[in-house]
Amino acid sequence: MITSENPENFDKFLDRLINENIIIEVLSRGKSKCLVIAKIDSSSTFRRVDFLYTSPKEYPFAILYFTGSKAFNAVMRGHALKMGFSLNEHGMSKEGVKGQLINHVFENEESIFDFLQLQYIKPTDRIDGRNIISKTISQKTASPINKIEQTKKKTRKVLKKKSEKIEMKENEIIEKITQFKEKGISILDSLSKDELLQMIEACKDAYYNHQKPILNDNEYDILEEYTNNKFQNTIDVGAPVTGKNKVNLPFEMASMDKIKPDSGALSIWTTKYTGPYVLSCKLDGVSGLYLCDNDGKHHLYTRGDGHVGQDISHLIKPLKLPKMSNGTAVRGEFILPKLVFQEKYKDTFANARNLVSGIINRKTNDEKSLDLDFVTYEVVHPLMPPSEQLLFLKEIGHKVVQNMVVPSLTNEYLSSLLVEWRTGYIYEIDGVIVSNNAVYNRTSGNPDHSFAFKMVLSDQVAEAKVLDVIWTPSKDGYLKPRVRIEPIQLAGVKIEYATGFNGKFIEENKIGLGAIITMVRSGDVIPYIQSVTVPAENAKMPDIPYEWTDTHVDIKLKDPSKDTTVIEKNITNFFVNLEVDGLSTGNIKRIMNAGFSSVPSILKMEKVDFEKVEGFKSKMIDKVYKSIQEKVGKASLLDIMVASGKLGRGLGERKIKPILTLYPDILVSNETKDDKIEMLKKVNGIGKENSVEFVENIPVFLAFLKECDLENKLTIKLEDINIVTPENTSDPFYMKKIVMSKTRDKNIIDFIKMHGGIVEDSINKETFLLIIKSIEDVSSKVVYAKKHNIPILSVEQFNEKYLSV
């Protein structure tokens, strides 16, 4: 067998052997194979020799293939298939798909054995399948008892073990997990299946075998559920156990499916399983199996990955577990009472479950073992209904999980019970287990007749996990949080996002990846965050430079003038305020992409410049160009001041108009800054903060006018400004402050102004009415309005009420 980066060396080698009379006769010859008759010298015997060329990449696989017996190779290929790989003389492919070679460099045969977690076997010893030996420590087998025959159920793909770890270095895995914790679920979208599985494997190994969790429960659940949803249930619960005390469990220890966060999921399940129902606490500890074998010996095991666990029988005595009859097997949870943890360990350990994991993984007992409880919740053998299982456990002397039997179920009832048990039970719980009270044969995989109810879920209230906090800058550079949650159904509406209100709310409530929040929706109220049930380890704050406002309520960009989103929103705001046709968000983005990224540059565009903009054809160009000239041309100084946004946050038409009414030449008069500030304080509705901001920004606005070639606007007299101020003070809108959210309907704006109303951008306690684009709109303004009993109307509702008469 010959290998070389250059395939031509194969022919050169053969030609040299022919020239030196080592190859006597060529029987067949191809690019990679050559069959010959050869002998080394005149005294040696003629031999039939096969020459084979293989690339350096395939060389280790070719050597392995041609040095192993047929039986050895068949068993090794079968071992590879169990791990999800197809092995042949050319390489190793993913999941049996030929040609889709895995991304890993194999330097020699031994590296192939390492990859497949096998002991290296010399070529002379590759006789048959008995020579395939696992590289891991030989596993013990649990003491046999009369096993229940398990019915085969739908199988799941087993999480690949060593393979992905080799593909990505440990520090790379940890870095990706850290990015996930810091940046939220969106970071997972760019990762491959292999990368996600390696992250999960690392988390499970750290949790089950080293008692040093990388992610907390909620963070891990998000990672696992994301991967399962994207790649259709590729993950099993648990992790392979490491160490000398590992054993093959006599029973599969399955996990429990969670009910979907959908108010209709429960009714579907209860249609199939009609009750009565056994409800019990889902204990938040470490799962275990306690059994008495046919010889009367008692054994205690951890769950491990559900198939292989750890023998911890040394804990039977300190746990004071009762004697059981031969063939009895029960499941329970190793757990510490909440009060014990609070009084003795809270200052030393991060949480109770980490401490429990540490205790059960010690080879010897210490005083901490005496604080541990084993709380049972299931009789694995013999078979009996769930209610009888719990009675039986109590009768034979076990600590038994809190439970009850009910004839019917509702989301509201389960939700209230979950809240009650969370606060009142002596142990930490993370849900309610619901089981149909009947006898079922044990099956492989999670049972269909039981599920875990883990979060409050009713028609008007639901708990949801936080997947991300998305920070988006406003036109003023303020970063506004939007909370992304696992999709839930609430009052018939699918909810995936909620307003985060402001920076203070996110920081104080520690809203970040894995937090559990309570969402409320009542009637037509937009769903909002009512409270935080479980905070995240850290709030997810912006990952770009920011600073707090003086009140430490809001967050703003350190340099908003360089932020593309802020620039785009300000340009859009300018042209939308002036009602220029065709210049809203979408087209502004296209114009900016064409190189015109400021209001002045767009105002100076000629028709030929618009031809550079993607999607702009002659009709659109004529329409936009004409509208810019007309609308900007007839705009008053007040219109330009409001549209520009240059005079400060919150300074809109309602505040600027009274200023110009009282001081029409305030922009160009010769008073000092301090004098102008004092002058503005006398204007009704203008306080010190607005006065300072307005005066400080006068030079900014004048520079903007100059750059736009709009300095002529300074000569327009205020009385020329086209604003109608009605004399009828009895008009229902007279001097009323009305806020519009996500809409700038011209007809509505004109109607409000005509009737003496004032259109504002910011909502406050003085707001008379909030107008929104759609009743399904979710925003902080809507939440504020509802909280302060400010009427809310959609555009359609406003039109029906006021404009259709």
Maximum alpha-carbon separation in the chain: 126
Quote the distance between the C-alpha of residue 488 and its chain's center: 14
Under a CB-based contact definition with an 8 Å cutoff, are residues 276 and 207 in contact? no
Question: ω into residue 261 within 30 of 0, thus cis?
Answer: no
Under a CB-based contact definition with an 8 Å cutoff, are residues 245 and 309 in contact? no
Give the full edge-to-edge strand order of the sheet including 246-248: 140-141, 246-248, 308-310
Cβ within 8 Å of residue 261, ≥6 positions away: 455, 457, 462, 464, 486, 487, 488, 489
- For 577, 597, 602, 611, 628, the CA distances from 590, given in Å and listed in that order, are 19, 10, 12, 11, 16
CA–CA distance, 763 with 742 (Å, rounded to integer): 13
Which residue pairs from 504-510 have beta carbons closer than 8 angstroms and sit at least 24 positions apart in sequence?
504/552, 504/553, 504/554, 505/481, 506/469, 506/481, 506/539, 506/540, 506/541, 507/539, 507/541, 509/535, 509/539, 510/535, 510/536, 510/537, 510/538, 510/539
Structure token pair of residue 685:
């509705």
Question: Catalytic one among 94, 176, 181, 282?
Answer: 282
- Nearest-Å Rg of the Cα atoms of the chain is 37
Under a CB-based contact definition with an 8 Å cutoff, are residues 170 and 177 in contact? no
- The residue with tokens 């990762």 is 191
Crossing angle of helices 564-577 and 585-593, rounded to 10°: 120
Under a CB-based contact definition with an 8 Å cutoff, are residues 261 and 487 in contact? yes
DSSP string, 564-585: HHHHHHHHHHHHHHTT-TT-SH
Structure token pair of residue 60:
């280790």
CA–CA distance, 142 with 328 (Å, rounded to integer): 14
Amino acid at 156: R
Q: Residue 506, Cβ neighbours under 10 Å: how many?
A: 24
Output b/e per residue, 337-350; b: 16+ Cβ within 10 A: beebbeeebeeebe
- The sign of the CA dihedral 771, 773, 777, 779 is negative
Question: Is 282 considered catalytic here?
Answer: yes
> How big is the chain, counted in residues?
805
CA–CA distance, 665 with 663 (Å, rounded to integer): 6
CA–CA distance, 657 with 641 (Å, rounded to integer): 10
CA–CA distance, 13 with 18 (Å, rounded to integer): 9
Between the CA atoms of 493, 498, 499 and 505, what dihedral angle is there, to the nearest 10 degrees? 140
Crossing angle of helices 653-662 and 637-644, rounded to 10°: 140
Cβ within 8 Å of residue 46, ≥6 positions away: 24, 37, 38, 39
Under a CB-based contact definition with an 8 Å cutoff, are residues 398 and 291 in contact? no
- For 354, 648, 668, 802, the CA distances from 673, given in Å and listed in that order, are 63, 16, 12, 44
CA–CA distance, 139 with 53 (Å, rounded to integer): 41
Under a CB-based contact definition with an 8 Å cutoff, are residues 196 and 131 in contact? no
Cβ within 8 Å of residue 639, ≥6 positions away: 577, 578, 721
- The sign of the CA dihedral 681, 683, 687, 689 is negative
Amino acid at 57: K
Active site members: 282
